[in-house]
Chains A and B, each alone.
Chain A
Amino acid sequence: MSTQRRHGHRTHATVATALAAGLLAATLAGCGSGGEKTGDANGTLVFGISADPAQMVPWTATSTQSIQVLSQIYSPLLNTDAEGVPEAGLAELPEISEDGKTYTFTLREGVTFGDGSALDSADVKYTYEKIIDPASSASSASYFANVAGIEAPDPQTVVVTLKQPDASFVAGLTGVNTAIVPSDVDAKSLEAKPVGSGPYQFKSRTPNESITLTRNADYYAGKPGAATVEFRVIPDEQSMVSSLKTGSVDVAIFDNPVTAKTATSGQTESMTVDSLSYHVLQLRATSPTLKDPNARLAIQCAISREDVIDSAALGSGKPTGPITSPEYRSDAEAQPCPEQDLDKAKDYLAKAGKPNGFTLNLMTSQGLYSTAVDEAQNIQAQLGKVGIKVNVEALDSNAYVERWLAADFDAAIAMNGGSSDPNTMYSRYFTKAGSFNKVAGYSSPELDKLFADGIATTDTAARKPIYEEISQRLVDQAAWVWLFTPEMYVVANKRVEGLEERTDASIATLWKASVS
């Protein structure tokens, strides 16, 4: 889960965010989820988005808007339930062999694609092999890194063989990035004309204006509430607020509590939802300034997370530890300095041999998310109290990404997507072989072993203590300084009924909503 990026209001969610798209957190007041539909069966629901979706093929989708639109058109093999646990979708939960290496999926019968063709095991095999094929440049390819082979012995059965047991494998099959595409349609043509088995079918698109979808009456999970869903591009936040207030847009999601508040009126309601993503101060333990764990711990102790939330993030968020996966969530207080402790910070500085502090370069970018620069400046002020002089470098988002990928920084402000699986969240950062280990700058043989143990068993109860220990080691060493999980605000017109609110603001169940 790499850092989320944002141009203006458009976020680049990550593969992991997409995978985590499955958590029911709450239901809009007055709306019974899955209850009787009282709405207009011919109604159009207008969903406001701040930018045009940048990608239209499931496995390359990275922007939030792409994931939102494609999650209406395509179905992944598995869904996730309210707790973020994978559950049946196009297929039943897999039967896993004794050795944890063979996963057998049984597909639901009678599912069809928008073009009328049946969705069977050949389509699943085709999709997954397409994702694995480097020529597709799939952002979800890493979820199949352990896959040795995919077989389709009969139309309803898919057998996936792994090179080694991997408990996080199933979590990878629940998001838009691994959604099933038809094997008899040229993948290239899907970019202009998506064909999926989701609740809605692609109808038309006007770039920079809108994407219109129509109801898939044969959707396998139920009848979608609105006959038409239009994703309307409204780049300006205030304009979005005006559109909600005048009822020309039915639903929009904001990350700014002040904006969400102004959008709430007699006609609209706002819901606050939690998120699996997290804001973090990334420290590169391999940089000369931060090599000594005491220097990093001094930073952790000098920072009040509440102060970052209240002063920089407009009060929107909750302090967090490393893991945000609901089943494995870290205790936010279980770290050397759960609260700001300036004396302890000075002790750590003395232990690091720098009693008068040091200079730290901190990079951030306005393009990450709206408060990224404010957070950097808040941390600058806080660390200044113990003599750590912070140089804030506010970069263009592309420059930030380039330097981040090149691991050319001491410290960075970032917002990372979470995942329902903790291995997916951190093995790429904190194992020696992880694709982002160079960027994270921290690993140890003990951590490598713990991560290996964590995916060797699929038993949640057995995995829990392992990830607890991983989480503890990360905060004890102050590998990074975890700040908070942000809140999102879903504002909907009152004529929208049955809208399910999900953690990380996924709209995978938008189909349950109808308009009256």
Chain B
Amino acid sequence: MEGVGLLSAASSLSHRVGAVGRHPVARRAGEAALTLIGVSILTFVLLRVVPGDQITAAYGTAAGDLSPEQLQALEAYYGVNEPLLSQYLGWLGGVLTGNLGVSATSQLSVLSMTAQSLPNTVELAVLAIVIGLGLGVPGGMLAASRPGKARDQISQLTSLIALSVPSFLLAAVVSSWLVNTIGWYPNGEGYRTLSEDPALNLQQMLLPALVLGISIAPPILQTTRAAILTVRSEDYVRTARAKGVSGRRLQVRHILRNALIPVVTMSGLQFGFLLGGALVVEQIFAIPGIGRQVLLGLEQKEYAVVQSTVLVIAVMFVLVNLLTDVIYRLVDPRVRVQ
């Protein structure tokens, strides 16, 4: 069902893309810019609506011990004494000139923090999506090959279980089992990036990518299964079959390829979420990714850190959507023609 819904969503999306007119790219860029501004305003407002500020976050109840002069100095230091509009415009102006702000706790620019954390998150997301596709697509094909029969039911049941187990639980169980049996827990070592120490980095990425991959495989499996079942009843498949195309060629070239669009859509969505930082998994496995950067900013009420990082995540999301569009064109010539 989900897959069918996504299929129609994808086709209406591609239809819309085609129907925009002469400047679809300009139109999409404009939409993206509006989205980003909306995200930034929403983040800005939400941060200030929730109770507390940087001062109460840093001092806790000890903030009550600060003299009025001390409070004034702190407010000026954190820039929270300025009117909201000038706070927002000041931040936005900075962002437009490439200044994402500075973290008061680490004294580092958000740009340099992001330059460190984003590649880790992207790497994790790519590995997770590869694992998710590796499990989900063959699983979906397997399930669709004999709908309603044992292999379908087993695949569906497995995916239901994988979907139901929370990733934090899976992470805890798997890692503590490995620790207690073979004494292996690479994530306790200091984090190393792919370029610093590829061997250790891949070990450190293995468990989190596996946990995330398992959690995103079920929707991919379901989407693949539903799309294949839909495509299989299409006229052109019947035609191909009548023509004598059979076996692997029919499955891959005629069915799978045409079933891929909703899978691409689903994978794009999942990838976008992963880029937002798989916060829980990053926390559990001590991966210094972008999700933890946002969390740290939220805990310390570091407005600039949260606003800028959320904006970066939104930009990534928009880029992934654009990329998904490009992939549509690759897998489905009809999108190009339209």
Contacts and interface: CB of A to CB of B under 8 A. Distances in A.
Interface string B133-153: 000000000000000000000
B73 A209 contact: no
A139 B71 CA distance: 11
A191 B172 CA distance: 36
B249 to A, nearest CB: 48
Centre residue among B61, B73, B185, B284 by max chain A CB count within 10 A: B61
Given A12-B59, A239-B285, 6 more contacts: A14-B62, A54-B105, A206-B288, A246-B183, A402-B52, A405-B56
Contacts of B301: 398
A32 interface: no
A207 B103 CA distance: 10
B191 A209 contact: yes
Interface string B46-89: 00001110001111111111110111111001000000000000
A136 interface: yes
B188 A208 contact: no
B184 A439 contact: no
A78 to B, nearest CB: 22
B58 A245 contact: no
Interface string A116-138: 00000000000000000011111
B225 interface: no
B108 A5 contact: no
Interface stretch (B3-11, B240-248, B291-299, B316-324): B291-299
Interface string B77-118: 100000000000000000000000001011110000100110
Interface string A1-38: 01111011010101100000000000000000000000
B52 A399 contact: yes
A137 B74 contact: yes
B56 A398 contact: yes
Contacts of A55: 58, 105
Interface in A428-448: 428, 435-436, 439
Contacts of A7: 299
Contact of A62 (B59, B189, B286, B292): B59
B267 interface: no
Nearest to B107: A192
A236 B281 CA distance: 10
A47 B10 CA distance: 51
Range for the number of chain B residues in contact with chain A: 35 or more
Classify the interface of chain B: helix, strand, loop or mixed: helix
5 contacts: A62-B62, A207-B288, A243-B185, A398-B50, A428-B65
A142 interface: yes
Contacts of A4: 60
Given A207-B106, A401-B63, A404-B61, A239 B56 contact: no
A135 B284 CA distance: 39
Contacts of A56: 105, 107
Interface in A156-213: 191-192, 205-210
A192 B102 CA distance: 12
Contacts of A208: 117, 288, 292-293, 296
A230 interface: yes
Contacts of A10: 299
B175 interface: yes
B59 A134 contact: no
B155 interface: no
Interface of A: 2-5, 7-8, 10, 12, 14-15, 51-56, 60, 62, 134-139, 141-142, 191-192, 205-210, 230, 232-236, 238-239, 241-246, 248-249, 396-399, 401-402, 404-405, 414, 428, 435-436, 439
A249 B176 CA distance: 15
Contacts of A236: 283-286
B188 A239 contact: yes
B156 interface: no
Nearest to A412: B61
Contact of B60 (A2, A141, A243, A249): A2
Given A139-B65, A141-B70, A239-B188, A402 B56 contact: yes
A52 B56 contact: no
A242 B176 contact: yes
When A and B form their complex, which 9 residue pairs have the shortest distance between CB atoms, in order from nearest?
A398-B52, A243-B188, A134-B69, A248-B188, A2-B61, A5-B60, A192-B107, A399-B51, A207-B106
A246 B106 contact: no
A210 B188 CA distance: 12
A343 to B, nearest CB: 36
Contacts of B293: 208
Nearest to A403: B51
A242 B105 contact: no
Contact of B73 (A135, A232, A397): A135
A399 B56 CA distance: 10
B288 A245 contact: no
A137 B70 contact: yes
B62 A233 contact: no
Given A137-B74, A191-B107, A209-B288, A2 B62 contact: yes
